[in-house]
Amino acid sequence: MGHFVTGIITTEADANEVASVIPFKYFHKINQGYVIFPLTDDLIDDRISPPLNFCFDEFTYLSKELSEMLLKASQDKYILYLETEYFGGEGCQSVIVYRNHEVVFGPAKSESGSISDALEFIGVSVDAGHHDAFQSVGLGSFRSSEELLDNA
């Protein structure tokens, strides 16, 4: 089974303000007061004017243009951008966190753990019965960004 999620995470309290800065309006509530804006490559292509400059070795879809939008939206709030790509237990994950117009965590890419570390950095706690912050916040509850968008 695969896990292919690209998205932006922030607090539920900050979601509408973030949505006013970025070109993605749909977000899905996850656990502990957070939301995820699910992204797909088609959605990114449709909402950000080309040409896109891909300057991060750690990411497939994070362009300089999207990163600049996230930097702008990060005043007084954490904004976490993530990508996962797993199939049959093999793959990797990438993450970066912005706050106050700066990168404050990452960019990081690993086989596992970097997203959980970033989630804990922004305040997600590991709930009893969960392996890590990734599971606690509910990111393991869906398999793809498309699944989240289809449920909108």
Task: Express each pLDDT in 38-59 by its tens digit.
Answer: 999 889 999 998 888 998 999 9
- Residue 127 has what pLDDT? 87
CA-to-CA distance for 141 and 87, rounded, in angstroms?
16
Domain count, the chain: 1
Full-model pTM: 0.95
pLDDT < 70 regions, the chain = 1, 152
Expressed as residue numbers, the domain containing 109 is 2-150
- Is residue 152 classed as helix, strand or coil in its secondary structure? coil
Total residues found in the chain within this entry: 152
Residue 52 carries which DSSP code? P
Listed in sequence order, the DSSP H helices in the chain are 15-19, 41-47, 64-73, 114-122, 133-137, 145-150
